[in-house]
Every structure is written in C-alpha cells, then in structure tokens.
Amino acid sequence: MSIAPNFSIVTLGVANVSRSAEFYRALGWEQVRSESDGITWFRTSGTWLGLYGYDLLAQDAAVEPVAQSALPAYRGITLAINLPTEADVDAAFEVAAAAGAPIIKAAHRAEWGGYSGYFTDPDGNLWELCFNPGFPIDAAGRIDIPKG
C-alpha cells in the first residue's frame, strides 16, 4: 500500500489573486488560464504553482481561515528554485527585486558549499534562490538529488 508520489500542485492562498499573478508573470513564469476564474496556475519544471483566494483555500480544506495578518513571516515551509550557477542566482535576485519582491536574505556562500538567498512573494511566501553544486539540473530544469 502506497500513495503514488504525484506531488502535482502547491497552492498559495493569497490576498489578491490578480496581484500575485502579476508578480509571478513578472518573474517570467508561464501562466495557464486566467485569474478571472478565481484560481490560476503557473507551470514550473516540477510541481505546478496555484494561486487562489486566501479564505477560499482555507474553506476548501475545511480549516479556520485565521486572518492573513496573523500569519507569522515563517510558516514552517519554504519553496526553492535551483539554478545552474551563482551568477544565475544573482541575476534571478535582480529579476525578483524588479518584480517588487522583498529580499529577505541576500545571496551568500553557504557552509555546505552552495550559494543561496531568499525573497518573498506579495503574501510573504518564502522563496529560496539556490545554486547547489551537488544537485545537478537537467535540461528540463529538474534537479537530481544523488544518493549520498
């Protein structure tokens, strides 16, 4: 007995779907279906990114939609984008900043040998931009994590 590991969609509950869609478009990401439907999706090399109303997403999951302003900056989860070189990470931070993203932690060399920093989207979701020399990236933009 197992669950097929079809990790298909990460959905972000956002205060304003149009504003968030504009932000992810400004990163250069491909939007599929308009946000006029109330929900919209962005294609990635891995799991799709969904954008949906903050309260509506809570309602869908049948949990209490605490006020978004009550959410701490750290929500116990981070989203990562791996890029092939340190220069790519630097260039990506320029794109994120131009899109209006707060840079939470500037890129720096990490003790594990990589190069990494964080920005947030308009709702405070933490995105890491990362170069990890140990995780090769294929032509489709997917990483491999080799067995140790």
Instruction: Tell me how far, at minimum, the Cβ of 18 lies from its own copies, in Å.
Output: 16
Instruction: Tell me how far, at minimum, the Cβ of 30 lies from its own copies, in Å.
Output: 7
111 binds its own copies (CB under 8 A): no
Which tokens go with 130?
């990362």
Per-residue x/- marks for its own copies, 112-141, CB under 8 A? ----x-x----x-xx-xxx----x-x---x
CA 116 to CA 9: how far, in whole Å? 24
Q: Which of residues 42-101 bind its own copies (CB under 8 A)?
A: 42-50, 54, 57-58, 60-66, 68, 70-83, 88, 91-92, 94-96, 98
Asked if 31 contacts 42 with a C-beta cutoff of 8 angstroms, the reply is: yes
CA 119 to chain centre: 10
Which tokens go with 104?
């939470």
